Amino acid sequence: MKGNPILGWGYLWRGFQQLSQPGLRRFVALPILLNAVLLSALSYGAVQWLDGTTERLLDNLPSWLEWLYWLVMPLLVITLLLVLAYFFSALLVTIASPFNGLLSEKVEQQKGSRIAEETLSSMIRRTLAREWTKIKYMLPRYLGLLILSFIPLVNLASPFLWFWFGSWIVALQYIDYSYDNHARSFAQMRGGLASQPLTVLGFGATTALLMMVPVLNWFVMPAAVIGGTLLRLEQMPLADNSAQPGKASAVDYAVSTNKDTRLTDGKTENTGRG
C-alpha cells in the first residue's frame, strides 16, 4: 500500500496551524460556531441515550450471565461511540458543506490556484448535491457494518472495522472539497484517494480520533478542510482538470465567451478575459 500515515497526520496538524491565518479566519469562524452548538447538543443527547441503553441491557440480563456484561459491554460502548461519532460527522459536514467549500477554495487561492467563479446559490446547490452523493455511498456500507455488529463473534471485530472504514470516510469527506471545486467526479476523487491509501487513512484516523475529544472537536472540521485541501494539492495533483460535461451550465462556472483552461496542478489559466 502506498502512502505514509504520519504524513496524513501532518496535514491535519498543518490545518490547525492555519486556522488563524489572515484571509481564512472569517471562513473558519462559522464552521467552528456550528460545531460548538451542534456537537454540544448532539453529544449531550447521545450520552443520555447511551446511559439509558446500557441500563436497560443490564436490567434484562439474567443474573447468571452478568459476567458476560463486563466482556461484551466495553466492545458495545466503543462501537456505539464510533457509530455516533461518524453519524455526527456526516451530519455536521452536510450542514456546513457550503462554508467548507468556500474555505477549501480560499486555501487553494492562497496557494496560487485560481478557481472559476460561480454564484453563491450555484455553489450551495453544488456542495449539497455532492454531499448527497457521499451519503448514498456511505449509507449502505454503514448499514452493512451495523448488521455485522450484531452477529455473535463477528461483532468482536466491529470496533476495528468501524474505525478503519470510518477513518476512510472522514478523509474522503474533507479531501473531496478540493476535487469538487475543480469539477472532478466522485469516482475520480475515490481513485485519487486510492493512490495514497495509507496517507489518507492516517489523515482520516487522526481526524476521527480528535472528533471525540470535547471542545477540541469544535475546531476539527475547519482544520480538516484546510488539511484535506493541502493534501490534495500536494499529494494528488490533477493531471487534467477540465470541467466535467454539463458542469458549467449546472453551476454557472463559465460564460460562453470566457472559458477557463485548467492546468495540471489544479490552477486555471484565464484564456478569454481582457
- The 3-class SS string of 3-68 reads CCHHHHHHHHHHHHHCCCCCCCHHHHHHHHHHHHHHHHHHHHHHHHHHHHHHHHHHHCCCHHHHHH
| Whole-structure pTM value | 0.73
Higher-confidence position of 183 and 200: 200
Q: Which residue has the cell 480560499?
A: 106
Each residue of 65-93: b (16+ CB within 10 Å) or e?
eeeeeeebeeebeebbbbbbbbebbbebb
**Region of poorest pLDDT, from 41-55, 168-182, 240-254:** 240-254
Higher-confidence position of 226 and 157: 226
**Cα distance between residue 116 and residue 195, in whole Å:** 26
Query: Domain extents for the chain?
Result: 5-60+68-270
How confident is the model over 186-235, as pLDDT tens digits?
999 999 999 999 999 999 999 988 887 878 888 998 999 999 999 999 99
How much is the average pLDDT of 242-256?
Answer: 37
**2-6, 120-124, 240-244, 260-264: range with highest mean pLDDT:** 2-6
Q: What is the pLDDT of residue 243?
A: 42
How much is the average pLDDT of 233-256?
Answer: 53
How confident is the model over 111-156, as pLDDT tens digits?
888 777 788 788 888 988 998 999 899 889 988 888 887 787 777 7
> What's the sign of the alpha-carbon dihedral 157, 162, 167, 172?
positive
- The 3-class SS string of 95-121 reads HHHHHHHHHHHHHHHHCCCCCCCCCHH
In this predicted structure, the answer to whether residue 264 has a pLDDT above a threshold of 60 is no
How confident is the model over 1-47, as pLDDT tens digits?
788 999 999 999 999 999 988 888 888 887 777 777 776 776 666 66
